[in-house]
Amino acid sequence: MRTGVFVCWCGLNIGGVVDVPRVVEEISHYPGVARAVDYRYMCSDPGQQLIKDVIREERLDSVVIAACSPGMHEATFQSVAASAGVNPYRCEIANIREQCSWPHQNEPGEATRKAIELIQAAIEKVRGDEALSALSIPVTRRALIIGAGIAGMQAALDIAEAGHEVVLVERLPHIGGHMAQLSETFPTLDCSQCILTPKTSEVGRHPRIKLLTNSEVESISGYVGNFTVRIRRKATYVNWDLCTGCGLCTEKCPSRASSTFERGLVKEPAISIAFPQAVPHKPVISAEACGHFTKGKCGVCEKVCPVGAIDYQQQDALFEEKVGAIVVATGYDLHPKAKVGEYGYGVYPDVIDGLEFERLNSASGPTQGQIRRPSDGKVPKEVVFIQCVGSRDQENGYPYCSKICCMYTAKHARLYKHKVSDGQPYVFYMDIRAGGKGYEEFVQHATEEEGVLYLRGRVARVFQDGDALVVFGVDTLSGKKVEIRADMVVLATAIVPASGAKELARVLKTATDQYGFFSEAHPKLRPVESLTRGIYIAGCAQAPKDIPDTVTQAGSAAAKVLALFSAERLSHSPAVAAVDEELCSGCGVCVEACAYDARTLDTRRRVAVVNDVLCEGCGACAVACPNGATRQKNASRSQVFSMIDAVVG
């Protein structure tokens, strides 16, 4: 064996603690080492050139790089080794920064000793490394997008426009998400539907987008490039292929259901289309409210439908789709009503949340855009807006900031003033967080030009007193208690992950944070990739964010998918598990141990097998195997034992 050892100073990160010249001196005498050299920044171009030169001069067959974590530069050094003729899987990293110089800054002597031992262990490992070649897997160039709000639609359009097919799954009967419920958008006050409907219609008619609404993802199997997805399309009881969306059934339907789209502010027919611009413009029967299903009597819609589209016998349908990449864009919900007892939310009809205010303000909403309070339809003259309800509240809610509430509350207060010019809006806030292009100016306009009264402080209690809602609060700038007799109270409730997000994360085998938002692979450098390869995230599924940020992230997720689809085949690390079939008894312990579904039993031959592309090389099965039949390539038992010897021996 001819091994070269390259010790990096990493400026002072390593060199300031570890005695690098001494390390090089000691290691150069270690058995099998052809040459040991050091360099100030091994990852720099001259550093890489140095490695290549030494490989050629010494005719090396293996390389050990003593530097930072393999998470940072393993790929760099593997490709350097390969370009100079050394098999990249015979290039090992000894992490003498994160695991040595950084934690042992105050004990340089010990750190130097440890660095030597870590390098010796890496030399022992590389001694047993096989020359492997990367596995190659095919890519299905078709994407699944879960959720058809603005994030999902944007990602779908970007991918479809680039020429690839997209399966877009939405659990509601229509697309558009929460953005379809908004009246106007900040900071420009343009109508939400006006900027959304061009996208919804484009998605609806795009030849490369397969739209599955009223549908949910049931299960997913496979791996990057090769996922198989099972999708359940829930029964709508209307044959959408026949339905023309004429709306006769909704006009004649005698039963009423609470409208989810209108946030429960009104009742709608049991067979209905959520809103006029809905895509697809087809009705759905709510079985909980429909007279035919609840009482077994009514059949009005079936009688009036001119094309015979009503189908009470319709069943859920299961689809299977093969895709290569998945974008999760499941969006958000608002903090539940039951949790805000002090404001009487859910008890007093005139205490509403931000989305309910959007509906009151929407031209297609229950009041045709007039601001009328839910209890008696009166135009409210004093409206109190309360920010941070559930957000930034470690005791009763969530510690995080929901990010959009400062802006939409300012928008609500301004829209209210535009419609009720003699009304007085009050805003209770903790801080105004208006970071964004044109945002601070937007809030300033509310406070300075439009007479919105901002009070810095919390509201302790909202109480119904006859016709009015009494708001007990505090203005911390003047230090005074404030009592306002309001006609309506609007709560900026916290953004929480959409219901079912955690269950979906389990199906996808990817991670969420403690609140249920999907975790990104790196908070700064990999913000749209999930921890599972081939699965990307966009929009509020990842964290609260506004429309511009959501659209940006959706485009970024689409770009990642397109990059994945740009290759004919994907490569996968060959350092996976392997089975010695002569030793294997087919006991199945490895199947239990595998977290990636990469191990299965061949029942005919009674041996365990490895699906190479699913295997992440974690080694759990190799450890679990009772008779040593499973072996981890390039981390064999003998390699591990000689590494231990090198450290403790």
Partner 1 sequence: MNSCPELLRPCWQGFFRADEDEWRGVTASLPPDGGQGLRERRMRYPYFPGCTLRAKARGFESSALASAGALGVQLDELPNWQCCGATFPLQADNSFSLVSPARTLASARKMGERLVTLCSACYNVLKRTNHVMRTDADRRDKVNAFIEEDYRGDLEVVHFLEVLRDDIGFDALARSVKVPLGGLAAAPYYGCLLLRPADELAFDDPEAPHILEDFLSALGCRAVDHPYKIECCGSYVALEPGDLASGPSRMVVESARTRGAQVIITSCPLCQYNLDISQQGARGHSGVGVPVVYFTQLLAIALGLSEDVLGFEGHVISPGPLLRSIGAMGSEATA
Using CB under 8 A as the criterion, which residues of the chain lie in contact with partner 1 when the complex forms? 340-342, 344, 347, 396, 461, 463-465, 470, 472
The distance of closest approach from Cβ of residue 487 to partner 1 in the complex, given in angstroms and rounded to an integer, is: 17
* Start-end of H helices in 206-353: 248-252, 291-294, 300-304
187 cis-preceded (ω within 30 degrees of 0): yes
The distance of closest approach from Cβ of residue 347 to partner 1 in the complex, given in angstroms and rounded to an integer, is: 8
Please identify, using beta-carbon distances, which residue of 347 and 563 lies nearer to partner 1. Answer: 347
Q: SS3 of 380, please?
A: coil
Query: Which of 352, 293, 607, 284 lies closest to 491 in space, CA to CA?
Result: 352
The DSSP element (H or E) to which 459 belongs, if any, is strand 459-465
271-272 and 382-389 strand pairing: unpaired
Please identify, using beta-carbon distances, which residue of 343 and 439 lies nearer to partner 1. Answer: 343
Please identify, using beta-carbon distances, which residue of 463 and 641 lies nearer to partner 1. Answer: 463
User: Rounded to 10 degrees, what is the CA torsion of 635, 637, 643, 648?
Assistant: 150
Please identify, using beta-carbon distances, which residue of 173 and 344 lies nearer to partner 1. Answer: 344
Please identify, using beta-carbon distances, which residue of 465 and 582 lies nearer to partner 1. Answer: 465
C-beta contacts of 307-311 below 8 A and 24+ residues apart: 307/242, 307/243, 307/244, 308/242, 309/238, 309/239, 309/240, 309/242, 309/243, 309/244, 310/237, 310/238, 310/239, 310/249, 310/285, 311/237, 311/238, 311/239
The distance of closest approach from Cβ of residue 344 to partner 1 in the complex, given in angstroms and rounded to an integer, is: 8
Please identify, using beta-carbon distances, which residue of 214 and 493 lies nearer to partner 1. Answer: 493
| φ, ψ dihedrals at 462, nearest 5° | -120, 135
Listed in sequence order, the residues at least 6 apart from 438 whose beta carbon sits closer than 8 Å to its beta carbon are 187, 188
Please identify, using beta-carbon distances, which residue of 318 and 347 lies nearer to partner 1. Answer: 347
Please identify, using beta-carbon distances, which residue of 341 and 377 lies nearer to partner 1. Answer: 341
CB atoms closer than 10 angstroms to residue 227 = 22
Please identify, using beta-carbon distances, which residue of 317 and 347 lies nearer to partner 1. Answer: 347
The distance of closest approach from Cβ of residue 351 to partner 1 in the complex, given in angstroms and rounded to an integer, is: 12
317-323 and 226-233 strand pairing: antiparallel
DSSP per-residue string spanning 81-120: HHHTTS-GGGEEEEE-IIIIITTTTT-HHHHHHHHHHHHH
Please identify, using beta-carbon distances, which residue of 45 and 465 lies nearer to partner 1. Answer: 465
The distance of closest approach from Cβ of residue 310 to partner 1 in the complex, given in angstroms and rounded to an integer, is: 44
Please identify, using beta-carbon distances, which residue of 448 and 465 lies nearer to partner 1. Answer: 465
Q: How many angstroms separate the Cα of 611 from the Cα of each of 126, 216, 619?
A: 25, 28, 14
Q: What six digits make up the tokens of 172?
A: 């509601």
The distance of closest approach from Cβ of residue 345 to partner 1 in the complex, given in angstroms and rounded to an integer, is: 9
Indicate the burial class of 531 (C-beta count within 10 angstroms; 0-12, 13-18, 19 or more). middle
| φ, ψ dihedrals at 495, nearest 5° | -80, 130
Q: SS3 of 230, please?
A: strand
